[in-house]
Amino acid sequence: MLTKDQLAELYRGLQKERVLTVYVDGVGQDPASRRVWRRRLDQELEREAHRIRLKDSKEKEAFYAAQTWVLKELDAYESFLPGKGYVAFATPGELLHAESLPVQVPTLARWEMGARVSPYIRGLKQLRPMITALVDGRRARVFRYQEGEITEVADLRADTFMGDISESASSPRPGKTSGSRGETGTDTAKKLLDVGTERMLKEVKDLVT
């Protein structure tokens, strides 16, 4: 996919031109669904031609010239598209950009001034991993969202960090007798859990930063 800077440059360069923007949803590998994407695109192109009411002969000629560039490029795919989606930007005189996309996009065709880039931007955002953490005092779960899929990265519990702490805390210190007055078991357990929670949160921070 284009970078944000490349997309911005393409967008700025086409702001004063009539552009046919085409997005195609290419998801689906069922043999019974071969070329379904092409039929949906053809329907979308027909709807767009009807929407803009091509009465002016020059405008009509320009629209179909741009459409020819896009369809000629897509003729290379006899059954399924190689990626989850597809995008093309064309003017009457040339195909400016076309590529398979690693993300799903809705099938869309628009003939207007400038390129329509909002679906492309949403696709770029899907490629960027996003990390989310669900945290309370005892448990933390970390998830990654990327390319439309959610994966659990870690499932942490504060009490799992308490083992080595409790062992060291329960061992009598040199010179301290067992008869000495000390903390209650509840106080000790709370302190151990607090330390375990602190360690758990530190690990969460390391995962998300």
Residue 172 pLDDT grade (very low, low, confident, very high; cuts 50, 70, 90) = low
pLDDT of residue 108: 97
pLDDT, greater one: 199 or 189? 199
Stretch 189-196: mean pLDDT: 76
Domains of the chain, by residue range, sit at 4-127, 130-208
Amino acid residing at 9? E
pLDDT of residue 180: 47
Report whether pLDDT(49) > 70: yes
pLDDT digits (tens, 9 = 90+) for 63-106: 999 999 999 999 999 889 999 999 999 999 999 999 999 999 99
Report whether pLDDT(179) > 70: no
pLDDT of residue 34: 75
Report whether pLDDT(128) > 80: no
pLDDT, greater one: 13 or 209? 13
